[in-house]
């Protein structure tokens, strides 16, 4: 009210609304910020995040790309662009975006994990295991990375190693249903029917 052209205030309001799950008002706040300053990269990025959550992937991609036009070394925007491309089934493009994000900022475990997922979906299981491994070096308690590493190992025929990965995921999160299912399926393949129950 005091300063209606405060771009950061509009953006921060959008962030708080996003955190509260009020996505449509968050979109309005980010748009208000961008009306004042169309070159505010963080507002484009945050708008992309909310639009992704709303399933509006094409619009999200537009705002991530705009953020990157303004700030080409914005690693998180490259990473989130990769997630949108992945959601749109453009896996090779997603891999390119993830790799660019990691060139800029190699310490983001989530991006290594997402890269692993895209590589695994492309059938590049050995490369996927390397990406999951890097994610786990950065965040050893990353249950999803342990479980998906298990999937890649299973695809490579390394069933005993896959079982160990699923168990590690379940040590971290005992309620992780997908890891339970994958563990049971792998144990059955190994003929360990009692353990699979």
Q: If residue 105 lies in a helix (H) or strand (E), which one and from where to where?
A: none
Which DSSP category does 5 fall into? T
pTM of this prediction? Answer: 0.89
pLDDT digits (tens, 9 = 90+) for 108-120: 999 999 999 999 9
Burial of 82 (0-12, 13-18, 19+ CB in 10 A): buried
Tens-place pLDDT, residues 43-101? 999 999 999 999 999 999 999 999 999 999 999 999 999 999 999 999 999 999 999 99
Distance, in Å, from the CA atom of 120 to the CA atom of 118, rounded to the nearest integer, reads: 5
Give the per-residue pLDDT at 90: 97
């Amino acid at each position: 009210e005091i300063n209606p052209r405060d771009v950061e205030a509009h953006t921060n309001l959008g962030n708080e609304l996003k955190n509260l799950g009020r996505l449509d008002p968050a979109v309005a706040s980010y748009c208000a910020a961008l009306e004042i300053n169309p070159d505010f990269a963080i507002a484009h990025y945050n708008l992309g995040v909310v639009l992704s959550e709303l399933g509006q992937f094409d619009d999200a991609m537009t705002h991530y790309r705009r953020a990157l036009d303004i700030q080409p070394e914005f690693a998180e925007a490259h990473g989130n662009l990769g997630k949108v491309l992945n959601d749109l089934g453009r896996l090779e493009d997603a891999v390119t975006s993830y790799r660019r994000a990691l060139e800029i900022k190699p310490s983001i475990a989530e991006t290594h994990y997402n890269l692993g997922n895209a590589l695994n979906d492309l059938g590049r299981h050995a490369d996927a295991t390397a990406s999951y491994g890097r994610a786990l070096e950065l965040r050893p308690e990353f249950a999803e990375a342990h479980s998906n590493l298990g999937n890649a190992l299973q695809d490579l025929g390394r069933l005993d190693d896959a079982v160990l990965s699923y168990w590690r995921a379940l040590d971290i999160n005992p309620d992780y249903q997908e890891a339970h299912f994958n563990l049971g399926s792998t144990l059955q393949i190994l003929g360990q029917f009692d353990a699979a129950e």
